[in-house]
Amino acid sequence: MDKTIEGIKRAIMLQCLQTVLEIEIEVSFLDRKYRIKGVSTPIVKIGPPVVTLLTPDSTPQRFIIAENAEREFGNAIAKHLETGISFYTELHSGWALPDFLWTRVA
């Protein structure tokens, strides 16, 4: 029975990692409006910046927004709009959840 439950847990985790989520938001930058999109991805490329949104003390039951998360997210958006360099957001550095890769919507 325990093996069956473990198999079900693994199947659920695999399905979560394979499910693609998208978030699209509108931002104002230098008096213009832009749309950017975040797409979940279990694979993160080395190089683009990563913004961590929650503190290490956060739990699945209690999210604590990181002190600089909003500012760092805004800075990453501004840099992306200026240079085209994409960036990632991660919910929590210690959790096995997909990150979001953010890009400008054409």
pLDDT, tens digit (0-9, with 9 covering 90-100), for 10-25: 666 655 556 678 889 8
Short-list 24, 21, 32, 28, CA closest to 74: 28
Task: Kindly list the domain boundaries of the chain, sorted by start residue.
Answer: 21-104
pLDDT, tens digit (0-9, with 9 covering 90-100), for 31-48: 899 999 999 887 777 777
Look up the pTM and report it: 0.74
Residue located via tokens 């079900």: 8
Residue located via tokens 């008096």: 31
> What is each CA distance from 72 to 28, 35, 67, 75, in whole angstroms?
16, 18, 10, 5
Structure tokens at 101: 């890769």
Check if the beta carbon of residue 35 is closer than 8 Å to that of residue 104.
Answer: yes
